[in-house]
Amino acid sequence: MTNRSAYDLTVDGEQHIAFVVDTGHETCRSVTNDVENVVADLVRLGIDVDRYRIIYRDSGGTWDGIDTEDARFAGFYALRATNRTEAAFMALTRRTRAQLAAGVRPK
C-alpha cells in the first residue's frame, strides 16, 4: 500500500465545487485517511479551497464534504448523498463554518 491516496478530480469553476472521487482505496490510502494531502494537492493546483465546496466520494460510493480553513483541512461534514448531483446541491446550500459562527442564515 502506498502512502498517498489515488483519486480523480473534477472542478466546476462556475459553481465553485471540487469533486474528489476515491479510486485507489484497495491499493492506497483512502481519501479520508489522506485528506490533508488531498487538500494540499488542490491548493497546489491553484484551487482556492476556502472559496470552493469540496466534496468527495468514498470507497463505498457515498458523497460527503471536506471543510477547510486558511487553505488547510478543517474537518468533514456529512452529506451521505448517493449521487453527485444531490451531493453538489446539498454542499452548495449548506452554511459554512464561518457563516455559522457569524449567525448567517441560509437564503
Residue 10 pLDDT class (50, 70, 90 cuts): very high
Does residue 69 contact residue 45 with C-beta atoms inside 8 Å?
A: no
95 C-beta neighbours (distance < 10 Å), count: 13
Assign 2 a pLDDT band (cuts: 50, 70, 90). Answer: low
Identify whether the C-beta of residue 94 lies closer than 8 Å to the C-beta of residue 80. no
Does residue 95 have a pLDDT over 90?
A: no
Answer positive or negative: Cα dihedral of 7, 90, 88, 54. negative
pLDDT of residue 24: 83
pLDDT in tens, 38-94: 999 999 999 999 999 999 999 899 999 999 999 999 999 999 999 999 999 999 988
Phi first, then psi: give them for residue 42, nearest 5 degrees. Answer: -60, -40
